[in-house]
Amino acid sequence: MDYIHLRDMQFFGYHGVLKEENILGQRFRASVSLAVDIQKAGQTDDLDDTVSYVGVYDICREILEGKPFKLIEAVAETIATTVLQRYEGQIFGCRVEIIKPDPPIPGHYKEVAVEIVRGKFYE
């Protein structure tokens, strides 16, 4: 199995349970890994033989900068579902990590994150 990774994409969105998060917004980071077969693309050097990471980036941007969700779990699920549907037959699995670097939680920590895996990943 081959993989395409889009790592540490950064967006500004309005997701969160608290009203202030929906009004002020905050930074979000996302990483997406796609389980694919890219051998043909490696041999042909043709974009039509692979999954466009520009298209996947655009999906992430539209969702993270779009309609607010209460939970980053829902953001991750929406990204994974959309990517798998849009590239049906080309992607075997999708891993999505959403990171909220500055959640409104008192205390000292680096970030909070969720990670989901949908579909099949092979080693």
How does pLDDT run across 50-84, given as a tens digit for each residue?
999 999 999 999 999 999 999 999 999 999 999 99
CATH number at residue 72: 3.30.1130.10
pLDDT in tens, 9-46: 999 999 999 998 899 999 999 999 999 999 999 999 99
Q: Answer yes or no: 19 catalytic.
A: no
Annotated catalytic residue: which of 67, 100, 110, 120? 100
Domain that holds residue 35: 2-119
- pLDDT tens-digit series, residues 82-119: 999 999 999 999 999 999 998 877 887 888 999 999 99
pLDDT value at residue 122? 58
Domain count, the chain: 1
Q: What is the pTM of this model?
A: 0.93
Joined together, the tokens standing for residue 51 give: 């999954």
